[in-house]
Amino acid sequence: MFDLASHPPVNKKSRALRALALLLLVLALGAAFFAMRPGSKPQKASSALNFKPLVTAARARQRDVNMYLPALGTVTPLNTVTVHSRVDGQLMEVRFREGDMVHEGDVLAIVDPRPFQAQLEQAEGQLLRDKALLENAKLDLKRYAQLIPDDLIAKQQYDTQAALVRQYEGIVKSDLGAIEAAKLQLIYSCITAPISGRAGLRIVDPGNIVHATDQNGIVVLTQMQPISVVFPLPEDSIARVLDKMKDAAPLKTEIYNREQTQLIATGTLVSLDNQIDPATGTLRLKAELTNDDTRLFPNQFVNVRLLIDVVSNAVVVPAAGVRRGPQGAQSYVLRDDDTVDLRKVDASESVRDEVIIRSGVQAGERVVIEGSERLRNGVQVEVKEADSPDSTQQQEK
C-alpha cells in the first residue's frame, strides 16, 4: 500500500531547474544540427576565396639621384704645433686661455727677459769699445800711409797697422752678431703663436723654469680652420675617382655624424695617397673643409660620402619594394585593377633607403613594399597607399 506520508512532495524549485536543463540540451542539439547542414561548408569556402591580401604600395618616382661612395673617416688637422720655449728661464706669464682660438703672432707666454736684456746691453757696450779701437787704428794707418813715400817708416810697420785695422773690423762685426743674437734671445723670451688654431690644455704653469730642450712644451696648438678628413676607399673604386678628378670641378665631400642622420660639413677632395695599403686593399684620400663652425675636432670619427656621379631622371623606388632571390631582383607591380604583376627589374644601384630601377618599372607605377610574402603573380589585393615622402628629406643633397 502506497503511503503518502513516507514520500514528501516534489520541490517546485527542483522542477524549474530540470526544465531549464532540458531547454539547454535542446538548444545545443539544434546548434549542432545547424552546423552540420550540407550548405554550411560551401559558404565557408566561398568566404575564403573572396579574401584579398592587404599590401602597402608606393609609387615609383623619377628624379635626379646623387651617387656617393661611403667611407669612415678621421678628422685630421692640417697643422699641429707643440709650442716650446726657445730660451731657458723662468716662465713669468701665460697669456692664453685653454681652449681659446689664437691667431698667428699672438703672445702666448713670457719668459723672464732680464738676463737677455743684460746680455744685449753688454754686447752693445763691447761694440762701442771695439768701434773706438777700430777708428783709432784707421787713423794710425792713414798717418803711416803718408809717411811711406818719404821712407820715414818701414813698410812692415805699415802692413802691421793695416792688419790691425782688419782685425778690429772683424771684432766689430762679431760684436754686431752678438748684439743680433742677444736681440733674438730677447725676442724669443716672448713666446708667440706660430699658427692660428685652438689652444689645448696648458702643460706648464707660470713660475716654472722652462728649457729649450723640454719635450712636452708649453701648449699644443691645432689648426681648426680649414681642417681635413682622411678616409679609405676600396681599390676597386679608385678608377672612378681618378676619372672624375680629371674634370675641372672638384669632387664634393659630405661629412655626417656617426648615425648618418645629420650633415656636419661639406668640403672637396684635395689629394690621394701614393700607395694602396696591402693589408686592407684600400687607398687613403684627403678632403679639406672650411669648418666655419668648428664642429669638427681632430681625431673625430665621421661618416664620409664622396659624390662620384649624378644620375639624371632616374626611376627610384623604396628598397623594400625590391625582392632579391635566385631569379635575381624582382618587384610586385600593381595593375589598375589592383592585381599584382611580378616583374624582373634591374636594380643594381641603391642610394640609402632607395633603389634605382634601370628597367622593369616605369615612373608613376605602384610597387608593393609591404605584404609581398603572401602574394603570387596575378592575385588581386587590397591596397594601402604608403605615406608620400617629403621631398626635402628624400632629395639628395
Among the listed residues 270, 253, 265, the one whose alpha carbon sits nearest the alpha carbon of residue 292: 265
Q: What is the pLDDT of residue 37?
A: 55
Q: What is the pLDDT of residue 45?
A: 44
**Kind of pairing between the strands at 301-318 and 354-357:** antiparallel
Among the listed residues 226, 152, 239, the one whose alpha carbon sits nearest the alpha carbon of residue 195: 226
Helix (H) or strand (E) holding 133: helix 114-147
Cell of 353: 633607403
Environment class of residue 320 by beta-carbon count within 10 Å: exposed (0-12), middle (13-18) or buried (19+)? middle
Among the listed residues 299, 231, 312, 302, the one whose alpha carbon sits nearest the alpha carbon of residue 269: 231
**Kind of pairing between the strands at 80-83 and 219-222:** antiparallel
Please give the Cα distance from 189 to 184 (Å, whole number).
Answer: 9
Q: What is the pLDDT of residue 44?
A: 46
**Kind of pairing between the strands at 54-59 and 382-385:** parallel
Q: What is the pLDDT of residue 35?
A: 53
**Contact of 73 with 257, CB cutoff 8 Å:** no
Among the listed residues 117, 106, 100, 119, the one whose alpha carbon sits nearest the alpha carbon of residue 191: 106
Place of cell 785695422: 165
Local confidence pLDDT in tens for the 397 residues of the chain = 444 444 444 455 567 667 777 777 777 766 655 555 554 444 444 444 567 888 889 999 999 988 899 999 999 999 999 999 999 999 999 999 999 999 999 999 999 999 999 999 999 999 999 999 999 999 999 999 988 888 888 889 999 999 999 999 999 999 999 999 999 999 999 999 999 999 999 999 999 999 999 999 999 999 999 999 999 999 999 999 998 888 778 899 999 998 888 999 999 999 999 999 999 999 999 999 999 999 999 999 999 999 998 888 999 999 888 988 888 899 999 998 889 999 999 987 888 788 999 989 999 999 999 988 878 888 888 888 876 554 434 444 4
The angle at the Cα of 252, spanning 249 to 256, to the nearest 5 degrees, equals: 175
Topology of domain 54-66+312-394, CATH:
2.40.420
Among the listed residues 169, 160, 167, the one whose alpha carbon sits nearest the alpha carbon of residue 140: 160
Does the domain made of 80-221 have the CATH classification 1.10.10.60?
no
CATH 2.40.50.100 range(s) for the chain read: 80-221
Environment class of residue 274 by beta-carbon count within 10 Å: exposed (0-12), middle (13-18) or buried (19+)? exposed
CATH 2.40.30.170 range(s) for the chain read: 69-77+228-310
Other CB atoms within 10 A of residue 112 CB: 17
CATH 2.40.420.20 range(s) for the chain read: 54-66+312-394
What are phi and psi for residue 377, nearest 5 degrees? Answer: -60, 130
The angle at the Cα of 388, spanning 386 to 393, to the nearest 5 degrees, equals: 130
Helix (H) or strand (E) holding 166: helix 155-188
CATH class of 69-77+228-310: mainly beta
Place of cell 736681440: 183
Classify residue 387 by its DSSP letter: P
Q: What contacts 185, CB < 8 A, 6 or more positions away?
A: 87, 116, 119, 120
